[in-house]
C-alpha cells in the first residue's frame, strides 16, 4: 500500500472507517483488519466507539507508531475550552497520548472558524495531535481554514463516490497541498450492483467495490476509507493494490456522476453551498 503525502502528513491510502459501527462490531472486526494489514483507522467522537477502537489497537500487537489514527471533534465541542477537553477525553478513550490526525467534523457552527482553527493548532502545538484537518468543507471554507491556520491542513474528508463529481474540490485541495479523504465510497450500497462497475471489475477479476476503491486511491491526493462489519469482506476491501485501471476505465467511472448524486447533506451541519 502506498502513502498519500499531504502537507507533511504521510497517510496510508486505504483506511478502515468505523462510521455507524457499534462498539461490539469494532471489537470483532477491527482486530482482524489490523491483522490483515490495515494501518489507517478512522473514527470520531460522535461515532461513540473511540474506546473500542482504542482497545482494538492496544490489543493488536502492532506498535502505536505503525498505525495512523484519525478522530474528529463534534460540532458541540467547537468552543475553545470544550474543544481542548474533548480532545483529552478522546485520547483517554483511544488509549493513546496522541492522534495522527484530528479533524473538525462539519463546517457549520456559531463558533468562529478562526477560533476552531486556533484550537486545532493549540492541540497540535501541545503534541496531542500530529496533523490537523477538516471534514465536509467546500472550496471557500477550505481556503479560509488554510489561511487561518498556522499549521498546514493535511486533509478534507468528504463524501466521494462515482455518482458525485468532486473534481473542482480535488483541484482546489491539490493547489493547497491538501488531500481528500473519501467516505461513502460505496454510495449507500449502489456501487456493488452497478453494471458499469461490475463490467470493469470482470476484466480484472475484481468486484465493483474493489474497482471503486481502486479508482479512488489511483487518483493523486485521494485517500479511500473502506468500511465493513462483515469479516469476509475485509480481504476484498484490502486487495486493491495488485491491479490498475486504465485511463479509459477511470473516465468511465467518472462519467457515472450525476447532478443529484450527493447523499449526505444535513442542513444544520453542511456548508452554505456545495461546489
3-state DSSP of 38-64: CCEEECCHHHCCHHHHHHHHHCCCCCH
Question: 150 — phi, psi (to 5°)?
Answer: -70, -45
Catalytic residue among 47, 160, 163, 183: 47
Beta bridge partners of 161: 164
Annotated catalytic residue 47: yes
**Contact (Cβ atoms closer than 8 angstroms) between residue 43 and residue 49:** yes
What does the block give as the cell for 122?
Answer: 493549540
DSSP alpha helices (H): ranges in the chain?
A: 23-36, 50-58, 80-94, 113-125, 139-148, 167-175, 195-204, 208-217, 231-238, 247-254
Q: Which residues contact 251 (CB under 8 A, 6 or more apart)?
A: none
Alpha-carbon span 25 to 55, nearest angstrom:
12
Catalytic residues: 47
Amino acid at each position: 500500500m502506498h502513502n498519500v503525502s499531504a502537507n507533511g502528513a504521510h497517510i496510508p491510502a486505504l483506511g478502515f472507517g468505523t462510521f455507524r459501527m457499534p462498539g461490539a462490531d469494532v471489537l470483532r472486526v477491527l482486530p482482524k483488519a489490523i491483522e490483515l494489514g490495515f494501518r489507517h483507522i478512522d473514527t470520531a467522537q460522535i461515532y461513540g466507539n473511540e474506546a473500542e477502537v482504542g482497545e482494538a489497537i492496544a490489543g493488536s500487537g502492532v506498535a502505536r507508531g505503525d498505525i495512523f489514527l484519525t478522530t474528529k471533534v463534534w460540532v458541540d465541542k467547537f468552543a475553545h475550552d470544550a474543544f481542548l477537553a474533548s480532545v483529552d477525553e478522546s485520547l483517554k478513550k483511544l488509549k493513546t497520548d496522541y492522534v495522527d490526525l484530528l479533524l473538525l467534523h462539519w463546517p457549520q457552527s456559531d463558533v468562529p472558524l478562526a477560533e476552531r482553527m486556533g484550537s486545532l493548532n493549540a492541540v497540535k502545538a501541545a503534541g496531542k495531535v500530529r496533523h490537523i484537518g477538516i471534514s465536509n468543507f467546500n472550496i471557500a471554507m477550505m481556503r479560509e481554514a488554510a489561511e487561518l491556520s498556522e499549521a498546514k491542513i493535511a486533509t478534507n474528508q468528504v463524501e466521494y463516490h462515482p455518482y458525485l463529481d468532486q473534481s473542482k474540490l480535488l483541484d482546489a485541495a491539490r493547489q493547497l497541498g491538501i488531500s481528500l479523504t473519501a467516505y461513502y465510497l460505496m454510495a449507500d450500497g449502489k456501487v456493488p450492483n452497478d453494471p458499469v462497475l461490475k463490467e470493469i471489475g470482470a476484466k480484472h477479476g475484481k468486484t465493483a467495490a474493489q474497482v471503486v476503491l481502486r479508482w479512488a486511491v489511483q487518483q493523486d491526493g485521494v485517500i479511500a476509507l473502506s468500511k465493513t462489519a462483515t469479516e469476509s469482506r475485509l480481504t476484498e476491501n484490502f486487495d486493491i493494490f495488485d491491479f490498475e485501471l486504465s485511463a479509459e476505465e477511470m473516465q468511465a467511472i467518472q462519467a457515472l456522476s450525476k447532478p443529484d448524486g450527493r447523499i449526505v447533506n444535513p442542513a444544520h451541519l453542511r456548508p452554505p453551498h456545495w461546489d
